[in-house]
Structure 1
Amino acid sequence: MKTFIPMLLILSLLLTACGDKTTTNKESADSGAAEGKKSLKIGMVTDLGSINDKSFNQSAWEALQKLNNVYGYDVKYLEPKSDGEVMPSLLTFVKGNYDLTWATAFTLADAVTQLANENPDAKFGIVDSDIIVPNVAAVSFKEQEGSFLVGVIAGLTTKTNKIGFVGGMKIPVIKRFEAGFREGIKAVNPDAKLIVNYTGVFNRVDVGKSAAATIYNDGADIIFHAAGLTGNGVFNEAKERKTNGENVWVIGVDKDQSLSFGDDITLTSMIKKVDEAVYQISRDLAEGNFPGGKVTTMGLKENGVDIAPTSIKNVTPEALKKVEEYRQKIISGEIVVPTE
């Protein structure tokens, strides 16, 4: 079968730890030293979800693990469990003289901005933010473009003409997911109805399961989630229903979630290459090219978002062909996907 999807490098490092985790690798460190590369200390603070969320945080941590394995960097993460733990977590790395501190969510932007201004010699990276501070490298994604493509798949796959979206918080980044998904569905199936449910949290599996149950009960047969750990509950609900004979699907997010939840319930996933962004900016720092004071924006043209290569397992060739047609229209600028 011919595939229309650019193949994506899938990092093979698996997470088995939880909580505060440090990784070192002497052989890689020796190798890095032999190449004349500086061995860095890099910290990462997650949002209020888990490092093992099988999604966003995990993807960023895998990038740091790869830096450890390849270059011997000393990498560590912290998982705040409440808003009050965010600032102390970031300060742990600042006071520990880490070369770079990553924050993996838009919700950490205020804390990063404050600490960056108070500690001008410290360097920070933040994902899903467009803050411009001299010692902060910000990364933003055009989630709406990748979401448009999975919307095309959903619109061409649904049997009930009812499709769901489960979002975490109503913040700009998640609204971009919703907007792109809605427009992709509309482009190929204007008769389909989109049912939207914002849970208000990114770290409650039970809440995600309840939201999915409500949407499936309303007749939807496909749900796309952009809810972090909460989205795992969407998969749990779909798996139960699939076991009971219901033909329902989930569209994953950030990573190829079929690798975690199985092909039997994962129709496709909207890949957001957080790992590549974290990896490259960290390497830029080692090479003296840290993009502080800038926002790096990644969309389809920049290969920052895509659909999972495993989509060929459940998505029809006709739908994949249509995805490729829309991909090229978005890259060329013929279609500009709205952000809200």
Structure 2
Amino acid sequence: MRLSVRAAATVAIATLALAGCGGSSSPSGSGAGAAPSSGSSSAPSTAGSSAPSSGTSAGGDLKIGVAYDVGGRGDQSFNDAAAAGVDKFKSETGATVQEAAAVNGESDAAREERLTQLAEGGYDPILVVGFVYATALSKVAPQYPDTHFAIVDSTDAKGANIANLTFAEDQGSFLVGVAAALKSKTHNVGFVGGVDTPLINKFERGFKAGVEAGKSGTKVQVKYLTQPPDFSGFGDPAKGKTAAKGMYDAGADVVFQAAGGSGAGVFQAAAAAKAMAIGVDSDQAKTAAASVKSVIITSMLKKVDVASYDFIKSVADGSPLTGEKVYDLKAGGVDYATTGGQVDDIKSTLDDYKQKLISGAITIPSK
């Protein structure tokens, strides 16, 4: 397998300059209201890449590889948060960036090939975005011990040259759960998860706990869009819209989505129902389509941009991160958004809960 993958990688590397990635060349997911383009490929994209400019600061000679999750750039959520950290480092140093995105339904072998292409191409560090890459990274990283890898949202891939960048999603979700309960007039809210996985269950668990803390007895409707191994729930706005519409029709007036690009559909349903919605990962009141921004009362911020920047900079500084690093409330890794001012009236309450979570006065159930 290793020989066949490397052979494929050699061919792909020879055509990198011509390769394209749908996720990085045009918006997809929540911004465009569409699933990932079938034009996405396992070959890294040169879109957005540039050679280091003269006079760049330390790190300008780095060749950074990025393997995005389904949807790639343009999902205005998880992948775009990671991309923001990469872009920040690139703008500061002039580093070269090579990108590729996963395609829904692809195999671990395809993901392994994508990571191999980047490693064979001399990209170091390589940022791997999403737990779906864990199996592939576990195979590829040991073959390139001098290459520094980081994977977001997984501790399943471990190694001396792997950093595991994880988050306290339950803490951030708790805060927006409190907000949902306090803003709801029907005492009925909803949670839409993209794919029924332990990671997204963590969002649900925190949200439910926050709702109960905010207003005990508030009903929480729950719907997952797909079940593994079908990960299209992270890139299907139509499914998100249908799920959220059902919740609004059943009496919910606030719906929190942890569904990647499918969240665009949740926002559309909220607008149609003249109801409220809560974004995820990025501050989506800033990034969503203009027609739905007003329905987004807050977003659960998962600062993947901070984690991706930290990792890349650690390699540039000669002290690369390895092992697990948890970005929780205390570390500034999760939070809630205030764009639009729709939670200003409850901000003091939310901040009080934030401090209680940080101090340990409040703990979130593990199940």
Q: 2:54 aligns with which of 9, 30, 33?
A: 30
Q: Matches of residues 162-241 of structure 1 in structure 2 within 5 Å?
A: 162-200=188-226, 201-241=233-273
Q: Secondary structure at the match of 2:71?
A: coil
Query: Is residue 302 of structure 1 aligned with residue 331 of structure 2?
Result: yes
- For residues 23 and 48 of structure 1, the distance between their equivalents in structure 2, rounded to whole angstroms, comes to 18
Q: 1:122 aligns with which of 147, 172, 189?
A: 147
**Residues 217/323 of structure 1: CA separation in 2 closer, same or farther (3 Å cut):** same
- For residues 235 and 72 of structure 2, the distance between their equivalents in structure 1, rounded to whole angstroms, comes to 7
Q: Secondary structure at the match of 2:185?
A: coil
Q: Matches of residues 71-150 of structure 1 in structure 2 within 5 Å?
A: 71-81=93-103, 82-84=105-107, 85-131=110-156, 132-150=158-176
How many residue pairs get aligned? The number is 315
- For residues 309 and 118 of structure 2, the distance between their equivalents in structure 1, rounded to whole angstroms, comes to 18
Q: Offset of 1:59 from its aligned partner?
A: 1.1
**Residues 205/296 of structure 1: CA separation in 2 closer, same or farther (3 Å cut):** same
Runs (5+) with no aligned partner, structure 1: 1-14
2:313 alignment partner AA: R
Given that 2:53 and 2:94 are in contact with CA atoms closer than 8 Å, whether structure 1 keeps it comes out as: yes
Q: Secondary structure at the match of 1:231?
A: helix
Q: Matches of residues 146-161 of structure 1 in structure 2 within 5 Å?
A: 146-161=172-187
Q: Offset of 1:238 from its aligned partner?
A: 1.7
Q: Offset of 1:21 from its aligned partner?
A: 4.0
- For residues 199 and 258 of structure 2, the distance between their equivalents in structure 1, rounded to whole angstroms, comes to 9
- For residues 177 and 220 of structure 1, the distance between their equivalents in structure 2, rounded to whole angstroms, comes to 18
Given that 2:59 and 2:313 are in contact with CA atoms closer than 8 Å, whether structure 1 keeps it comes out as: no
- For residues 228 and 235 of structure 1, the distance between their equivalents in structure 2, rounded to whole angstroms, comes to 12
Given that 1:268 and 1:315 are in contact with CA atoms closer than 8 Å, whether structure 2 keeps it comes out as: yes
Q: Secondary structure at the match of 1:191?
A: coil
1:335 alignment partner AA: I
2:25 alignment partner AA: A
Given that 1:23 and 1:74 are in contact with CA atoms closer than 8 Å, whether structure 2 keeps it comes out as: no
Listed one character per residue, the Cα deviations across residues 55-92 of structure 1 (whole Å, up to 9, x for unaligned) are: 00011112112221110110121112132332222122
Given that 2:193 and 2:259 are in contact with CA atoms closer than 8 Å, whether structure 1 keeps it comes out as: yes
Given that 1:144 and 1:339 are in contact with CA atoms closer than 8 Å, whether structure 2 keeps it comes out as: no
Alignment-derived partner of residue 46 in structure 1: 68
- For residues 31 and 271 of structure 1, the distance between their equivalents in structure 2, rounded to whole angstroms, comes to 34
Q: Offset of 1:140 from its aligned partner?
A: 0.5
2:326 alignment partner AA: T
2:352 alignment partner AA: E
Given that 2:58 and 2:93 are in contact with CA atoms closer than 8 Å, whether structure 1 keeps it comes out as: no
- For residues 59 and 86 of structure 2, the distance between their equivalents in structure 1, rounded to whole angstroms, comes to 16
Given that 1:257 and 1:266 are in contact with CA atoms closer than 8 Å, whether structure 2 keeps it comes out as: yes
- Aligned sequence identity (%): 35
The 10-residue stretch of structure 1 (94-103 or 17-26) with the greater mean CA deviation from structure 2: 17-26
1:259 alignment partner AA: K
Q: Secondary structure at the match of 1:207?
A: helix
Q: Offset of 1:49 from its aligned partner?
A: 2.2
Q: Offset of 1:37 from its aligned partner?
A: 4.1
- For residues 78 and 117 of structure 1, the distance between their equivalents in structure 2, rounded to whole angstroms, comes to 21
- For residues 210 and 103 of structure 1, the distance between their equivalents in structure 2, rounded to whole angstroms, comes to 31
What is the aligned-residue RMSD (CA, Å)? 1.8
Given that 1:24 and 1:68 are in contact with CA atoms closer than 8 Å, whether structure 2 keeps it comes out as: no
**Residues 36/277 of structure 1: CA separation in 2 closer, same or farther (3 Å cut):** closer
Please, what TM-score do these two structures have when normalized by structure 2? Answer: 0.82
Listed one character per residue, the Cα deviations across residues 232-270 of structure 1 (whole Å, up to 9, x for unaligned) are: 1111222233xxxx3x11100000000123541101001
Please, what TM-score do these two structures have when normalized by structure 1? Answer: 0.88
Listed one character per residue, the Cα deviations across residues 197-217 of structure 1 (whole Å, up to 9, x for unaligned) are: 011221111111111111111
Runs (5+) with no aligned partner, structure 2: 1-22, 27-39, 227-232
